[in-house]
Structures are given as structure tokens and as C-alpha cells.
Amino acid sequence: MVLYSPGRTSSYPEEAVKEGLRFHYLGGGNEVGNVGCILEDATGTRLLLDYGLAPTDPPRYPNEAPKVTDCIITHSHIDHLGMAPWLASHHSTRLHGTALTGEIARPMWNDCYKVSRIEGYPLSWDKRDIDEAVDLWQAHGFDEKITFHNWKWRLLRAGHIPGAAMVNIETPTHRILFTGDFDTRDSGLVNGAEPVKCDILFIEGTYGGRSHPPKQHEQQRFLDRVTEVVGRGGTCLVPAFANGRTQDVLILLHKSGLNLNVHIDGMGKFLAKLYLEHPEYLRSSDDLEAALAWAKKVSSKSDRKKALDADVIITTSGMLDGGPSIWYVNRLRDNPENAILLTGYQARGSGGKKLLDQGKLPIFGTDTPIDLEVDQFTFSTHSGHDEIINFAQQCEAKHVVIYHADPVQARPPLVVALEAQGHTVHCPINGESYTIVD
Ligand SMILES: [Zn+2]
Ligand SMILES: [Zn+2]
């Protein structure tokens, strides 16, 4: 099924920009994920930043992009690059990002395609379009200076996950920083993002209004829980996102020094190997390499059966939506000594959310009661409320555009705090255009 029907034009305005900088969110302006943002100035220079889809149930897609010659992809999460194959096949758009993001892109697109087929969700691009997108990828290192018409731009470390970048753009009128998903705090995998002086700051506000618990405190709570479950003879099932969380949790367990038998399954083990091919994007490739060598990698059916006797199993899907994690739950659920330790956000409609709210999980199409202890831990690699506010202050941004934020819960507290700090705050709505002149 084609979502963007032939002949239908984009919501993007056809009029030229008269002065200053125009920004227009195709998606992600007033929601989390699904990001696509067009920047254009009076000289007609135009860039698209990210083009993703939100892997919710059902997925959300951004508005149709107008013709763009170049798109910068901040990082390899599907909500930032899921629609790039469409751009590649329809507009032959050059895709820019770090080398690591480019390498992870293909497995992410393959997985997205596979899920859309299994779940029966429409996707406006086809498997062949992935090849075109891969061919159109242009890799750039951090701080490499790129000239694009009369603009200059560069990628800067964003924290968050390996290879994730912020985009710093200089136009004749404005200095711009676009954070992508970012975290100023170090994680096991990556060092945190650093502020850059700018006139306009586009900042993701996922955690607006929420403060993260101190990282060490949360990590200790997790390790204590693992120790307790293993001590009583149980197995901890740790559902974790493949791209970042799996490896972060693995490093944490390895560094803890606990005597554990840890098995790792799902796409996360493959992505860990890709990370190791690009050590320049890691805080410590030695830490990841050692942790990966320490864990047992599940790569066959018999490995999977053996993993049922492990102390800890780390696997996808992180939201218990299919993948090996469901296979494991189905086999571990009869022994109440086992436990499920969730390590990430559980979206509405996800298996993990149902488990938390109703104690049930859809297993092979049937809602099944799960009588295991379930715990949730905050291992987020997005900046929390305080980090967002401090970052904007250190950037000395005149204008702050809040995006990638829930407009009801997360954005209002950010607006209050940012205005109190003296910034002019913008709250974009998808499909609307805004111009900043001063
Ligand atoms: Zn995101
Ligand atoms: Zn992300």
C-alpha cells in the first residue's frame, strides 16, 4: 500500500522564504519520534533533518517531504531514519550521517520492513529502496566541516547511542544547533553531548518535566534485583532495545564484578559487533569488547534452550513485542523464582505496557497472565528536564524550539523553565511553518 499517493503534494509551502530562517516539522514537532524537520532560508538553501517513523502500534508516519537534495540523519533509531528509503527512492536525496549510523541503518530498515510485514502495517517504501538509501549514504566524522551552498554544517557528539550526532549549522543569518536525541550524561557506551553557542536551538524534550533518578542509584537498584533473583535460583529476563540499551546493560553487568552467567540474544549482539568496528564512537571499546567476550552469545535454537538456565538473559524486543523475549517469557513464566526486569520506556499498546498495567502479555495471539515479578528501571539515554534546561542556558540560545516532546506532559514544564531563563520559546506543530528573523 502506498501511503503517499502519486500526485499528492507535500504540506510544505511553495512560497519562498522572504527573510531569516524557516522551519517546518513534517513530524516530531508536537510528538515523540516520527521526526522530520525542514530548514530553509531566503537564498533557497534547504535541508531536511531526520526522516523517521514512530514504531507505535499502529505506526505513525511523518507528512510527505517536498523535494530535498540533502537530508542529515542524526542517529540510527527508527523514529529518526525509518522513512529515509522513501526519500532515496523518490527524490534521490543524499543521506548524511556518521559512518556508524550508516552501517546500522541497513539492519534497522530491514527490521522495520520485516515488522511491517508481520504486523500488516503499510509502509511507503519497499525492500529494494533500502539498497538505494545505502548507496546514497555519505559518511562524515564528528567536527568535519561541510559546505552546503551558502551554509556550513558539521556533526557533533550527541551522547544517546554510538554514532548519534547533533547538527550544527551556520547560515548567513543564524547559528543553529539541532540536538537529535541527546544526553549530556555519559553512559556505559558513549560520552555525553556538550553545548555549543547558538542563536537557535532545536532541542528534543522527551523527558520534559521529569528528572532522572541518579544514574548510579538506578544501576545499583538493578544489580541488587539481579542478585536477589539469582540468589533464589531464578533467571532474570532483561528485555532491552537492540540499538544501545542491550550493550549498555551488558557493560553494567560485566563491570559490576558479580559472578553471573549472562546470555545475550537478538539483534543487539550483532549491533555490538558493528559498534566495535567503529571504536571512535565509543566511550571505551575495551569495556564493550570485554563485556561481549564475557557473555554467551545465543545464535542457535539449542543455545536458546541452554540460555533458559542462565542467571540473566538480555534480549530484544525491549517492549516485549515479539522477538526472542516472547519466546523466553513463554518458557520462564511457570517458575515464580524468575523475574522480568524492564530496562526501557514501554509505549502505549506495547506488550510491556500491558504486562505492567494488566499482568498479561499477548503470546502467540493469546493474552496470557504472567505471574512473574516485573520491575522497571530507568536507563534512559535522553537528557532529563534539568539537563535540557542547563544545556539551553549553556548554549546561550536566543530561540529554543522544543520538539520530540509530548505536547501535554513534557512540553509545558519546559516552556515555563526556558522562558524563565530568558529564551524565546517555540512549540511547533507538525505541518505548520515558522520563520525566525531576529
Ligand atoms: Zn527519538
Ligand atoms: Zn534515539
* pLDDT tens by residue, 138-184: 999 999 999 999 999 999 999 999 999 999 999 999 999 999 999 99
Kindly list the protein residues that place their beta carbon closer than 5 angstroms to ligand 1, a single-atom ion.
79, 181
Which whole number is the average pLDDT over 293-314? 97
CA dist 396 to 148, 173, 176, 392, Å?
Answer: 25, 16, 11, 6
> From ligand 1's centre to the CA of 81, what distance in Å?
10
Q: How far is the CA of 80 from the centre of ligand 1 (A)?
A: 6
Residues 375-419 pLDDT 10s: 999 999 999 999 999 999 999 999 999 999 999 999 999 999 999
What confidence score (pLDDT) does residue 9 get?
63
Q: Mean pLDDT over residues 429-436, rounded?
A: 97
Q: 45 C-alpha to center of ligand 1: Å?
A: 25
Query: 244: which residues sit within 8 A by CB, 6+ positions away?
Result: 160, 161, 162, 187, 189, 381
CB-based burial, 200-225: b 16+ in 10 Å, e otherwise: bbbbbbbbbbeebeeeeeebeebbeb
pLDDT value for 2: 47
> Nearest bound ligand to CA 206?
1
Average pLDDT over residues 296-308: 97
* Whether pLDDT at 3 is above 80: no
pLDDT digit string, tens, across residues 12-51: 999 999 999 999 999 999 999 999 999 999 999 999 999 9
Q: Does the pLDDT at position 119 exceed 80?
A: yes
Please report, as a single letter, which amino acid is at residue 296.
Answer: K
Q: Which ligand is nearest to the CA of 162?
A: 2
- Tell me, what's the pLDDT at 1? 38
Among all ligands shown, which has an atom nearest to the Cα of 35?
1
Q: Ligand 2 centre and the CA of 251: distance in Å?
A: 19
pLDDT at 365: 85
User: Ligand 2 center to residue 160 CA distance, Å?
Assistant: 7
99 burial type by CB count under 10 A (0-12 exposed, 13-18 middle, 19+ buried)? middle
Phi and psi dihedrals of 79, rounded to 5?
A: -75, 0
Whether the pLDDT of residue 5 is over 90: the answer is no
**Residue 214 has what DSSP assignment?**
P
- The region that residue 34 occupies, defined by phi over 0 for left and psi between -120 and 50 for alpha, beta otherwise, is left
> Residue 57 — pLDDT band, cuts 50, 70, 90?
confident
Give the distance (Å) from ligand 1 centre to CA of residue 32: 7
